[in-house]
Amino acid sequence: MRAARVTLVSAVVAHVLGWALPAVYNERGWRAFRAALSPLWPYEGVRLEPGILLVLTVASALTNVLFVVLAAVLLLRAARARAVLWAAGGATLLNLHWPLTMGDERRLLEGGYFVWVSSFALLALAAYLQNASRALRSSPRPRG
């Protein structure tokens, strides 16, 4: 259980750092979040064309809300670790669309983006470790 807690704390720290560090175009993560949500919440003249990129962009921004919910669930309800594992893993994969969809501009992604994405992978790992720890505790011990 200790490894799961340390990993969960690491995930939260990485997530916070991802918001504070430059993520793309020398913009901090929180500004990238606002730009990504611009179709729902207008921001500084940012306009995205309708299509799959708009859907991916908004979905990626909304994974930040998912992160908070999943971290809280993992902290409070060990029995839900498997669901958190799948959701955090899916969010990690979704957020990895940026290097692909940005094409040649992917070189403008900065450290904050990679720290942010790794926070989702760390959250999935924390859920895996918590689930494995729970399974070990509930398995019958051999007599000998």
In this structure, the number of other CB atoms found within 10 A of the CB of residue 131 comes to 20
Q: Given the structure tokens 């060990």, which residue do they identify?
A: 78
Identify the band that residue 1 occupies on the pLDDT scale cut at 50, 70 and 90. low
CA 51 to chain centre: 23
Q: Where do the structural domains in the chain lie, given as residue ranges?
A: 2-138
Place of tokens 């989702």: 120
Greater confidence (2 vs 118) lies with 118
| pLDDT 10s digits, 105-128 | 999 999 999 999 999 999 999 999
Give phi and psi for 28, each to the nearest 5. -65, 160
- pLDDT confidence of residue 95: 97
Mean pLDDT for the chain overall: 90
> CA–CA separation, 69 vs 18, rounded Å?
17
Per-residue confidence at 144, pLDDT binned at 50, 70, 90?
Answer: low
Per-residue pLDDT at 23: 96
Supply 93's token pair: 């994969």
**Full-model pTM:** 0.89
Task: List, for residues 87-109, the tens digit of each pLDDT value.
Answer: 999 999 999 999 999 999 999 99
Q: Which residues contact 81 (CB under 8 A, 6 or more apart)?
A: 74, 127, 128, 130, 131, 134
Picking from 70, 69, 102, 106, the residue whose alpha carbon sits closest to that of residue 89 is: 70
